[in-house]
Chains A and B, each alone.
Chain A
Amino acid sequence: MKENDTYFDIYEYWLASLAFLPGRKKIYLKTVFQKAEMLYRAEEMSLKHLLLLTEREKERLKEAQRQTEKELKRQREYCAQNQIGLALWQDDSYPLRLKEIYNPPYGLFYRGRLPDKNLCTVGIVGARNCSFYGKTAAEKIGKELAAAGIAVISGLAAGIDGAAQRGAVHAGGYTLGVLGNGIDVCYPPQNRELYEQLLTKGCVVSEYPPGTTPLPGYFPQRNRIISGLSDCVLVVEAREKSGSLITADFALEQGKDVYALPGRISDALSQGTNRLIRQGAGIFLNVEDFLNEMHIFTKAGDNSSLKPKNSLENLERLVYSCLGFTPRSLEYLLTETNLSLGVLMENLETLQEKGCVSEVYKNYYSRCDI
């Protein structure tokens, strides 16, 4: 990490961490005052003439000016200790793609390595409470995109986001997580392992200062950064009303392509994605097709993995045919296959060994070879 990176200007840090001001207003302030320090020391008189700021914002700005330099230095020290970098809007390290969007974040806190300018990026987003099918699909897509040398951008959330990034990490690719809270806060906690992996193999970014706790209002804002950093956005699973659709809206505003994974019309978790397709979003069939459409020609995915389906025994094939990508209960399989419990269990066991089937929850089985 570069030295001037870690030991950033405390006044810039102060400006970047003002959560009540949108990024574009910070950029406006910066152009007016030239230096963040000037704004920090600005008299009440000079604040009065700022046209773009509301009265309320001016009030809060005055309040924020009371933050002492000692405190700011202490926070800089904390960032230095935890290798938290700050990329400012005017910096070279600031991602070019973000500069082009409406209301870009003024400062981007990050841990890890920011993406290269010419790296192709795809945002993968979806429901937190996803289905097993969605999770498996997201993981597979993440893995194959990463193998094709494409960076996966997502929100490091539970469900689809995490699964896609996990897939990318698994394939050894670059992936970036945009947080809706302080960069040093791991939320949701069950993603701790993934978070740690991103620190070394990818990057975590946030526009909120370290220590910010997750608030519901922050996450929609975070989505504009996900879409902003991506060349195109893929929605894997979304309900009729879903935060993932906000990301898709941002992507469209920002002029990015939106792709959706089609699903059955009866699945609640495909209502949102199907509607996107109805509205004109691209249909995601498989990674190869997707990359062709994006005019990226790589040795896409390892489709060489032999289809284990072909090596199944008769009874295994029977059990396998009763399974789908939605979890099926053992009860269902018993009645459907008409096998005895012992025989059914034996076959499920071998199917699991062959990697065709997985026990999703206790006594619920699903295919896992999409």
Chain B
Amino acid sequence: MYSIVSTAIVCGIQSVLVQVEADVCDGMPALEMVGVLASEVKEAKERIRAAIRNSGISLPPKKITINLYPADIRKTGTVFDLPIALAVLAAYGRIPQEYLEGILFAGEISLNGEIRPTSGVLPMVLAAKEAGKQVVCVPRENIREAQIVKGITILPGENLNQVMELIRCFFKEGCKESENSDNDNNIEEMGIDYENMDCDFAGIHGQLLLKRACEIAASGRHHMLMLGSPGAGKTMAARAVATILPPLTQQEALELAKVYSVTGRFEQREKNFRKRPYRSPHHTISLAGLAGGGAVPKPGEISLAHKGVLFLDELTEFKKPVLEALRQPLEERGIRLVRKSGTYFYPADIMLIAAMNPCNCGYFPDRNRCSCSRAMIERHLNKISRPMLDRMDLCVEVQRPSLSELTARKREETSAEIRARVERTQLIQQQRFEGTGILYNSQIPASAMEQWCVLEPAGERLLQEAFEQLQLTARGYYRIIRVARTIADMEGAAQIGRSHIQESLLFRSIDRKVWNWE
């Protein structure tokens, strides 16, 4: 007898439907599987044999053939156990084929027939919905992930017998225990628990310039580089930036959830579904770890920080190829990994915050503590390539706060207050860029500068002077205008004035020329 069951495979953060066919006929008892299978899929053979037996179902010895198609995609992952088992049972006639129609199955099976959680459930359910499926059956542990998708019935699988019973009931009685009805845990609607974040700008004393830079960076989603001595509060500031970012939109949150789903880390998004991610990988991270990779590519830290903050502490300590790999994803806001098995695209629209010491010992320009020679400092700064520096919109020097600043019980602004301003500034930007696909000032292309960044004559004059004096590059020039645009938006100014340019110049990139020595 012949049977067919639908399942899906994850490819990047997208999912493609896969059909599992089973045929049972007389002949030498065997179980053959075909259809470009990875080894973990081939192993399913042993798992389902044991799982079916241990579920109390005995199958007479026959020749079983299983085929997974489309055959041009390499099947990887462990979601095929459940659909294969069901296809075999249906081919033996233990489940009527019509029970299986219109349902997408995914899940790993253990030897005793229990269904175990798997990764990538969210993209699969989305793909199922797009393909017009009404019902999906996923492991119970993955149920919350699947429930994000509206308008599709979710059946929670616990073990093989229970699934068989479940689909029988569902076929006979319709959507009786629709899991979607209990909306008490609708994580999409949940607000962000800003209060319980471990860091707040109110806890950072003094550091006026640093706070200002953080607010500008967050408002226009500019990349930021912090330069300062050890213990100046760079890390703390980076964490605090995450607390002044407005929540993710529904669509952004869903996209991010997909990335976490395919890495099997959905539970990290579960509690704070609309919170922007904050990732701070250690500087020993490998290229694949940061950018994504592997034989079957998995998203890296840049994708896990999608729409959020990626903080690289001790930027100079990162391996050079690892850092350079960031350049293209920063421009494209995503990374395309090409493998023999196909092309994988992972989104990576990040706000990069980096921190580094100004020299090896970290105390330059305090000559009392730093005796690094010019050559040493240049070598230190040269660890960051020019193109990488060029991508940092803001560069701010951070100084260790004085004792009086730390002990002064002055009330500092809280993250919530700053966040309100950031949200307002972002709204101004979104109104300006409506319909262009651009969201933030940092994304204004050079070609559209004249349209959106109108300079007052005084501002233009100052910028021209600075261009000559600081020997800016074209990229540096536009960067200053973009940041000035954000500063103007923060004030609600339509045109970019002199003061905006002046402030933007403060945060210009470090430049060997500017460290004027002789």
Query: Which residues of A are at the interface with B, using a C-beta cutoff of 8 A?
Result: 128-132, 135, 158, 162-163, 166, 188, 190-191, 239, 266-269, 326-327, 329-332, 334-335, 341-342, 345, 360-364
Restricting to B465-518, which residues have a CB under 8 Å from any CB of A? Answer: 499, 502-503, 506, 508, 510-511, 514-518
Give the chain B neighbours of A362 by CB distance below 8 A: 395, 397, 508, 510-511, 514-515
Q: Which of B312-320, B325-333, B365-373 has 4 or more CB atoms under 8 Å from chain A? A: B365-373
Restricting to B341-376, which residues have a CB under 8 Å from any CB of A? Answer: 365-375
Restricting to B164-223, which residues have a CB under 8 Å from any CB of A? Answer: 206-210, 212
What residue of chain A has the Cβ atom nearest to residue B503's Cβ? A341
Contact across chains for B368 and A190 when beta carbons are under 8 A apart: no
Sample of 5 further A-B pairs with CB below 8 A, known A131-B367, A335-B208: A266-B368, A268-B369, A331-B397, A342-B502, A362-B515
A188 to B374, CA, bound (A): 10
What residue of chain B has the Cβ atom nearest to residue A163's Cβ? B518
Contact across chains for A329 and B399 when beta carbons are under 8 A apart: yes
> Within the complex, what minimum Cβ distance (angstroms) separates A146 from chain B?
18
Contact across chains for B365 and A334 when beta carbons are under 8 A apart: no
> Within the complex, what minimum Cβ distance (angstroms) separates A59 from chain B?
37
- The reply on B405 being an interface residue by CB < 8 A is yes
Contact across chains for A341 and B518 when beta carbons are under 8 A apart: no
Contact across chains for B373 and A129 when beta carbons are under 8 A apart: yes
Q: Which of A131, A132, A331 has the most CB of B within 10 A?
A: A331
A361 to B208, CA, bound (A): 19
Using A330-B209, A342-B502, A360-B365 as known contacts, say yes or no to A129 and B518 having CB atoms under 8 A apart: no
Contact across chains for B374 and A341 when beta carbons are under 8 A apart: no
Give the chain A neighbours of B510 by CB distance below 8 A: 362
Contact across chains for B365 and A327 when beta carbons are under 8 A apart: yes
> Within the complex, what minimum Cβ distance (angstroms) separates A347 from chain B?
12
- Nearest first, the 9 A-B pairs at minimum CB distance are A131-B367, A268-B368, A362-B514, A342-B499, A331-B209, A329-B399, A334-B208, A361-B365, A345-B502
Contact across chains for B367 and A130 when beta carbons are under 8 A apart: yes
Size of chain B's interface in residues, with CB distance under 8 A? 33
> Within the complex, what minimum Cβ distance (angstroms) separates A198 from chain B?
14
Give the chain B neighbours of A166 by CB distance below 8 A: 518
Give the chain B neighbours of A268 by CB distance below 8 A: 367-369, 371
A132 to B503, CA, bound (A): 25
Contact across chains for A345 and B367 when beta carbons are under 8 A apart: no
> Within the complex, what minimum Cβ distance (angstroms) separates B490 from chain A?
12
Instruction: Indicate which residue in B207, B370, B503, B508 contacts A331 across the interface (CB closer than 8 Å).
Output: B207
Task: Show 15 A/B contacts (Cβ-Cβ < 8 Å), sorted by A.
Answer: A129-B367, A129-B373, A166-B518, A268-B367, A330-B397, A331-B209, A331-B397, A335-B405, A341-B503, A345-B503, A361-B365, A362-B395, A362-B508, A362-B510, A363-B209
A331 to B502, CA, bound (A): 16
Give the chain B neighbours of A329 by CB distance below 8 A: 397, 399
What residue of chain B has the Cβ atom nearest to residue A271's Cβ? B368
Instruction: Indicate which residue in B208, B372, B508, B518 contacts A158 across the interface (CB closer than 8 Å).
Output: B518
> Within the complex, what minimum Cβ distance (angstroms) separates B34 from chain A?
65
A129 to B371, CA, bound (A): 6
Instruction: Indicate which residue in B212, B506, B511 contacts A363 across the interface (CB closer than 8 Å).
Output: B506
What residue of chain A has the Cβ atom nearest to residue B397's Cβ? A363
> Within the complex, what minimum Cβ distance (angstroms) separates A261 from chain B?
15
Give the chain B neighbours of A129 by CB distance below 8 A: 367, 370-374
Give the chain B neighbours of A361 by CB distance below 8 A: 365, 514-516
Q: Which of A128, A188, A239, A341 has the most CB of B within 10 A?
A: A341
Contact across chains for A360 and B506 when beta carbons are under 8 A apart: no
Using A128-B373, A266-B368, A342-B503 as known contacts, say yes or no to A190 and B208 having CB atoms under 8 A apart: no
Q: Which of A326, A335, A342 has the most CB of B within 10 A?
A: A335
Using A331-B399, A332-B399 as known contacts, say yes or no to A191 and B518 having CB atoms under 8 A apart: yes
Q: Which of B209, B212, B374 has the most CB of A within 10 A?
A: B209
A360 to B208, CA, bound (A): 21
> Within the complex, what minimum Cβ distance (angstroms) separates A65 from chain B?
39
Give the chain A neighbours of B395 by CB distance below 8 A: 362
Give the chain A neighbours of B518 by CB distance below 8 A: 135, 158, 162-163, 166, 190-191
Contact across chains for B506 and A190 when beta carbons are under 8 A apart: no
A326 to B366, CA, bound (A): 8
Restricting to B371-392, which residues have a CB under 8 Å from any CB of A? Answer: 371-375
Give the chain B neighbours of A342 by CB distance below 8 A: 499, 502-503
Using A190-B517, A190-B518, A334-B208 as known contacts, say yes or no to A364 and B506 having CB atoms under 8 A apart: no
Give the chain A neighbours of B373 by CB distance below 8 A: 128-129, 158
A239 to B207, CA, bound (A): 31
A132 to B206, CA, bound (A): 26
A331 to B207, CA, bound (A): 7
Instruction: Indicate which residue in B209, B511, B517 contacts A334 across the interface (CB closer than 8 Å).
Output: B209
> Within the complex, what minimum Cβ distance (angstroms) separates B471 from chain A?
13
> Within the complex, what minimum Cβ distance (angstroms) separates A197 from chain B?
13
What residue of chain A has the Cβ atom nearest to residue B509's Cβ? A362
